[in-house]
Amino acid sequence: MQNEHEVTREVQKSNDSSDTMQLIQENKENLKAWIGVDPSPFLEHLNSLNLIPRHVHQAAVIKGGEESVELVLDHCISQGEAGCEKLWDALYFVRKQYVQLWKWIQKHGEALRAIRDKESDLKLWIARDPKHILLQLMSRGRIPNELFTKAKGIRDGAECAELLLNYFIERGNDDCLKLLIALQAVQDEYSGLKKWLGGLDFLRRLSNKSPVVLNKYNDFVLRDKIRFKTRELLMALRDDLTPLLSQLQIRNILTDNCVRAVKEMQARQGSEKATQHMVELVMARGRPRVKQFWEALWDLRESYPDLENVFEKF
């Protein structure tokens, strides 16, 4: 297995399709090694969102191990640029299921690199009035109370901005992405920020794959919306909880035992009771899981067409 530091290009790549295809070909052996230990989460994600044909999924399941990953990679490469972009998105989605893949993306992902490349300008922009991004991060639960208190007490705007940026850079790509999303919410407060954010290709791709409305509400509001929309969700799911439960399991929103309990309840008491129980289990997992639950629903719109109506009324 090649050392992860030998890989020179990140997995969560911009939407430059030709580059994406080249990256897949260059890093094929790494991807096979990282995912081949247990391809199940990767294959399940691809299958649940219909990102690969059923016969390819079935053949990959039969092969197992690195051979199954190679089969999927070869199929996506054969589909050209569009197929490779879908594959990149899938890799980023399941990154936390594969420790080496996740660690590598944490160190080399585009969100982290974007902030590092623009760090000097970001310090200048935020330094003019840090309170906007501070309040935004706090309302979203993206920074601990201690950091918020410390940053709020710093009179020097540049010092405050540096403290915030260092915190997110040190935590890696996933947290840097959260910072960028929070910056999007307050982009009108900082001159120069809006134009820069608009030029980040991977952020534009992200905004096309998740409802903008989720970025407008904090976790408390999103939690309440689950309560008020349980009946609508029940109708949209149409008694078929399998795709959603699969996604909740892959994303670690629900444990294997919780998923099993929901399936058993559905078999004994029907879909309505099972859906209500599933919602209760998600709520019990805490506010951050609630947003992840809505994001999982958004990604399953092809499996559940009626979910479009739920989000339109959001």
Question: Does CATH place domain 215-312 in 1.10.3470?
Answer: no
Q: Measured at the alpha carbon of residue 173, what is the angle toward residues 70 and 210, in degrees to the nearest 5?
A: 80
Query: Is the CA virtual torsion 75, 79, 80, 84 positive or negative?
Result: negative
Q: Region 222-251: what's the mean pLDDT?
A: 82
Residue 122 is predicted with a pLDDT of: 97
- Tell me the whole-structure pTM to 2 decimals: 0.61
pLDDT at position 146: 93
Domain ranges of the chain: 8-107, 110-209, 215-312
Of the CA atoms within 13 Å of residue 282, those in its CB half-sphere come to 32
Question: pLDDT digits over 93-128, tens only?
Answer: 888 789 998 988 888 777 898 999 999 999 999 999
Q: Write down the pLDDT at residue 208.
A: 55
Angstrom distance (rounded) from CA 65 to CA 290:
33
pLDDT, tens digit, 9 for 90 and up, residues 5-54: 444 444 444 444 456 687 788 889 999 999 999 999 999 889 877 889 99
Q: What is the pLDDT of residues 172-198, one digit of tens each?
A: 988 998 899 889 889 999 989 999 998
Name the class of domain 8-107: mainly alpha
For the record, the structure tokens of 288 come out as 């951050």
Structure confidence by residue, pLDDT tens digits, 295-310:
888 877 767 878 777 7
Q: Tell me, what's the pLDDT at 206?
A: 64
Q: What is the pLDDT of residue 20?
A: 67
pLDDT surpasses 70 at 209: no
Residues contacting 202, CB < 8 A, separation 6+: 12, 13, 14, 15, 110, 111, 114
Q: What is the largest CA-CA distance in the chain?
A: 62
Superfamily for domain range 110-209: Death Domain, Fas (1.10.533.10)
Tens digit of pLDDT for each residue in 59-79? 999 999 999 999 999 999 999
User: Fold match between 8-107 and 110-209?
Assistant: yes
Record the tokens describing residue 141, joined without a space. 């639960």
Residue 211 has pLDDT above 80, yes or no: no
Amino acid at 193: L
Q: What digits encode the pLDDT tens for the residues 133-176?
A: 999 888 777 899 999 999 999 999 999 999 999 999 999 988 99
Percent of the chain having pLDDT more than 70? 88
The string of DSSP letters for 68-80 reads HHHHHHHHHHHTH
What average pLDDT does the structure give for the chain? 84
Quick one: pLDDT at residue 216? 64
pLDDT band at 312 (very low <50, low <70, confident <90, very high): low
pLDDT of residue 157: 95
pLDDT of amino acid 257: 92
Predicted confidence at residue 150, as pLDDT, reads: 95
Find out whether 249 and 259 touch, Cβ atoms under 8 Å.
Answer: yes
Consecutive H or E run containing 25: helix 17-26
**Can you say whether residue 146 is alpha, beta or left, with left for phi > 0 and alpha for psi between -120 and 50 degrees?**
alpha
Amino acid in the structure at residue 224: D
